[in-house]
Amino acid sequence: MFDWRMVSAAFVAFLFVSGMFVSSSAIKDFLNSLIEKISEWMKTSPFGGFFASPTKKPKEVEFFVQSKNLILTPDSKVSILSDRFAISGFRGEIIIDMDKRKMNLVESTSSVQINLTIDDEIVVDNLKLNKFSIKNAKFEINEIKTNNGSIFLNDFSGNLRIKNSNIYFKGETTSLKTKIGENVWELE
């Protein structure tokens, strides 16, 4: 009898090994998207029930942080907007230095770097962060305020706004945990 799971597993293994030896970024992107689609199919397929993992429903969240430095590596292309400029489709690292009032954008697919001055409000739209943490920062979430605490986010999707000396996050997350000293608070 023919076993589809064996064929699927062999095909996925072939794609994985092929992806390790392919140097063209276009082919790598194609193989990555193909593997992603196959894994989605395996989660919803009648054959793939054992691959499925329970998902948490995202919850609305809004908070602000005062941090001297912040480094973001979004898991999506973002738009960065202000009154003076608009950058769309940016993929790469966003380095925010609040002491110097600078934002550096380091493109991940090329050697392009953009240095911006933070002198008015800047918004980063379509921001997706699979895992993100901020340590030893002043922040406020709901009724929780601290001058020195940590925030841990999973699967954040929303926007970030820099205004004055604050960095505001607004969106949805499947998990948000704060730690202030030994006290831990988790969004439920």
pLDDT tens string, the chain, 188 residues long: the values are: 556 677 677 776 676 666 666 555 566 666 666 666 666 665 555 554 555 555 678 899 999 999 888 999 999 999 999 999 999 999 999 999 999 999 999 998 888 899 999 988 999 999 999 999 999 999 998 888 999 999 999 999 999 999 988 999 999 999 999 999 999 998 87
Q: How many CB atoms lie within 10 A of CB 10?
A: 10
What is the spatial order of strands in the sheet that 92-97 belongs to? 69-72, 92-97, 102-107, 113-117
Report the predicted TM-score, pTM, of the whole model to 2 decimal places: 0.69
User: DSSP label at 94?
Assistant: E
Residue 130, both tokens: 């699979």
Cβ atoms of 61 and 176 closer than 8 Å: yes
Instruction: Please tell me the distance from the alpha carbon of residue 114 to that of residue 146, in angstroms, as a whole number.
Output: 33
Q: Which of 161, 79, 65 is nearest to 121 (CA)?
A: 161
Cβ atoms of 115 and 170 closer than 8 Å: no
Strand partners, 114: 105
Q: How many CB atoms lie within 10 A of CB 92?
A: 20
User: DSSP label at 56?
Assistant: P
For residue 85, what is the enclosing H or E element? none
